[in-house]
């Protein structure tokens, strides 16, 4: 089957919805990878994508057949068909210039802050922590010291600084029985020393939003709009047979992103397609990247069932309306 039903809009993959009232809708070419052909990897999921110099580039969470998740560079002309490197990313410590290899690492986000690309991801030396790496050529990744003490598995920078400081949304993991899995904001002038941590987004809103009852965590880099920062995040519910990861959305204040202006009580989209409901971890949609074009079209890349990648589409206007209407 030739996947030519999509079109590229302003250089960005985008498809209009079948139903104009839809808030968010899936790409008809989902899922992206065919493992019958792509036998090098067990799973490809939860990956970051950017358009750099008019070309698609991605950092993919690939699990080699030994089951180890690591990060690989992929390139694409259209955002759908990807050439993924045979070798994993190489990291070089910022302070010493020495190469470094994690035990394993995963769940990257790519953010351009002031013309520089940063990748935020979860790396394991021994415990899971958030790391930042920067790159100019998507070949060499300069690695900053781990941002936080363990444990923290999800982090994403804002695309702009605030008062000269980098801001990072993140999800500290504080153990079962604690107020685990909510979204915090941390600041740093230099990406090395972090502080002024405060929780900014609560899950569950004190007992109503069951779809995000267990935990929430930041997804793609927040999208700047006139009305605030649009944040797409993952929210998790439990059943007697495991967890279900959906996507949600909220709007943070432009100047003080620790203020939540609107937060939709309902999920934005939830697993229902076979490639989302069946797989290594059933019932997972895990967004890691969102591209936006000049017309406000949004293309979201998400991991599906911890096995594959999917794409869904929305627009800035639709999301703004959504977070207000269901706040």
Residues 7-46 that bind a second copy (CB under 8 A): 35, 42
3-state DSSP assignment of residue 129:
strand
User: Shortest distance, CB of residue 195 to a second copy, whole angstroms?
Assistant: 4
Indicate whether 270 belongs to the interface with a second copy (CB under 8 A).
yes
Query: Residue 274 gets which letter from DSSP?
Result: H
3-state DSSP assignment of residue 80:
coil
Return d(Cα 273, Cα 240) in angstroms, integer.
Answer: 21
Please pick, from the candidates 30, 46, 188, 315, the single residue that binds a second copy as defined by CB under 8 A. 188
3-state DSSP assignment of residue 211:
helix
User: Between residue 209 and residue 248, which ones bind a second copy under the rule CB under 8 A?
Assistant: 209-213, 237, 239-244
How far lies 18's CA from each of 23, 26, 295, 313, 323, in Å?
A: 11, 10, 19, 11, 22
Indicate whether 88 belongs to the interface with a second copy (CB under 8 A).
no
Return d(Cα 300, Cα 287) in angstroms, integer.
Answer: 7
Number of residues that bind a second copy (CB under 8 A): 72
Residue 313's CB is within 10 A of a number of other CB atoms, namely 21
Please pick, from the candidates 46, 76, 135, 283, the single residue that binds a second copy as defined by CB under 8 A. 283
Which residues are within 8 A (CB) of 294 and not within 5 positions of it... i.e. 6 or more apart? 10
Indicate whether 5 belongs to the interface with a second copy (CB under 8 A).
no
Q: 63 or 107, CB closer to a second copy?
A: 63
Indicate whether 199 belongs to the interface with a second copy (CB under 8 A).
yes
Indicate whether 116 belongs to the interface with a second copy (CB under 8 A).
no
Indicate whether 75 belongs to the interface with a second copy (CB under 8 A).
no
Candidates 44-52, 85-93, 120-128, 290-298; binding stretch for a second copy (CB under 8 A): 120-128
User: Between residue 128 and residue 147, which ones bind a second copy under the rule CB under 8 A?
Assistant: 128-129, 145-147
Candidates 135-143, 220-228, 263-271, 313-321; binding stretch for a second copy (CB under 8 A): 263-271
Q: 112 or 266, CB closer to a second copy?
A: 266
> Which stretches does DSSP call E strand in 253-316?
260-263, 285-292, 297-304, 308-315
Strand 183-188's sheet: what is its strand order?
152-157, 166-172, 183-188
């Amino acid at each position: 089957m030739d996947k030519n039903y999509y079109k590229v809009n302003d250089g960005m993959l985008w498809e209009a919805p079948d139903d104009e009232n839809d808030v968010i809708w899936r790409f008809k070419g989902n899922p992206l990878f065919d493992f019958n052909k792509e036998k090098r990897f067990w799973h490809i999921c939860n990956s970051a994508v950017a358009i750099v110099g008019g070309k698609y580039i991605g950092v993919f969470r690939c699990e080699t057949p030994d089951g180890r998740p690591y990060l690989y560079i992929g390139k694409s002309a259209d955002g759908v068909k990807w050439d993924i490197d045979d070798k994993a990313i190489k990291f070089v410590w910022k302070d010493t210039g020495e190469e470094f290899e994690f035990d394993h690492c995963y769940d990257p986000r790519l953010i351009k802050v002031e013309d520089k690309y940063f990748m935020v991801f979860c790396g394991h030396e021994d415990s899971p922590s958030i790391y930042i790496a920067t790159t100019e050529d998507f070949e060499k990744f300069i690695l900053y010291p781990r941002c936080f003490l363990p444990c923290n598995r999800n982090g994403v920078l804002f695309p702009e600084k605030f008062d000269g400081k980098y801001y990072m949304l993140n999800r500290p993991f504080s153990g079962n029985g604690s107020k685990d899995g909510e979204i915090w904001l941390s600041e740093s002038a230099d990406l090395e020393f972090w502080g002024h941590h405060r929780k900014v987004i609560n899950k569950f809103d004190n007992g109503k939003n069951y779809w995000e009852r267990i935990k929430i965590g930041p997804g793609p880099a927040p999208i700047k709009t006139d009305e605030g920062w649009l944040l797409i995040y993952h929210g998790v519910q439990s059943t007697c047979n495991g967890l279900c990861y959906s996507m949600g959305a909220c709007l943070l204040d432009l100047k003080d992103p620790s203020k939540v202006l609107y937060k939709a009580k309902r999920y934005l989209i939830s697993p229902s397609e076979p490639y989302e409901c069946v797989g290594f971890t059933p019932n997972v949609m895990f967004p890691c990247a969102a591209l936006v074009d000049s017309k406000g079209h949004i293309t979201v890349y998400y991991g599906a069932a911890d096995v594959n990648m999917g794409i869904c589409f929305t627009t800035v206007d639709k999301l703004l309306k959504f977070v207000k209407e269901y706040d």
